[in-house]
Amino acid sequence: MTHSRALPWPPAPIATERLILRASEARDRAAVIELNSSPEVGTYLGGPRPRAELDRTVPEVPGRRPGFFVVERDGSAIGTIQLDPQDRERPKHRLEAGETELGYLFLPATWGRGYAGEACAAALDWFARALPAEPVVLYTQTANIRSMRLAARLGFTEVERFEAYGAEQWFGVLAPVRSRGSRLTGRAAPSS
């Protein structure tokens, strides 16, 4: 699957108040393996993947594709954000062509400090400038309270709930951006 138009990639690193978002590099491999093998991160994502399998299969530079951001805090990778073309094999698919799906994974030690919100807001602002008309959607389990709260703070609104993979799923779409100010910090985004 591809985006409706090409994303400008890799982007110049995006600096927020506390974080940097950038394309992935070889030095992020350990953090990507940590994220995907963490039982806490995997709780609502079908469970963690075995570390030995990840050690074998994660490429030297992980996540090397348009829309895959590594989020860095003080020089260390703390999470990833994905803006991927929506998977049409999903059990529910209600919008028309050209949707992009937001995903986010952050290391548990960094939860509860607003980093995911700050980083996702910056990624969404970047995406809105790159592909202005393209809708952004989000799936999450309703039991994933942290993710549900984050989705609401970012401006996603519910389209529907449905049962899949043995759990209630939430499907939301991002409300149109009214201004180009940053979503959570209220800081004005630089004009381009």
Ligand X SMILES: CC(C)(COP(=O)(O)OP(=O)(O)OC[C@H]1O[C@@H](n2cnc3c(N)ncnc32)[C@H](O)[C@@H]1OP(=O)(O)O)[C@@H](O)C(=O)NCCC(=O)NCCS
Give the interface with ligand X as residue ranges (CB under 6 A).
Answer: 41, 44-45, 103-106, 111-117, 140, 144, 146-147, 150
The residue among 112 and 132 lying less far from ligand X, judged by its C-beta, is 112
Q: Phi, psi at residue 74, to the nearest 5°?
A: 50, 40
Bridge-based pairing state of the strands 136-141 and 156-164: unpaired
Smallest distance, ligand X to C-beta of residue 187, A = 12
Smallest distance, ligand X to C-beta of residue 73, A = 12
C-beta neighbour count of 133 within 10 angstroms? 9
The residue among 100 and 147 lying less far from ligand X, judged by its C-beta, is 147
The residues facing 158 across adjacent strands are: 172
Smallest distance, ligand X to C-beta of residue 102, A = 7
Q: Provide the token pair at 133.
A: 């008309």
Smallest distance, ligand X to C-beta of residue 38, A = 8
Q: Indicate the residue whose CB is closest to ligand X.
A: 114
Q: Do 141 and 168 contact (CB within 8 A), yes or no?
A: yes
The residue among 5 and 113 lying less far from ligand X, judged by its C-beta, is 113
Q: Do 142 and 161 contact (CB within 8 A), yes or no?
A: yes
CA distance between the termini of the chain: 28
The residue among 6 and 175 lying less far from ligand X, judged by its C-beta, is 175
The residue among 19 and 60 lying less far from ligand X, judged by its C-beta, is 19
Smallest distance, ligand X to C-beta of residue 70, A = 14
The residues facing 101 across adjacent strands are: 84, 137
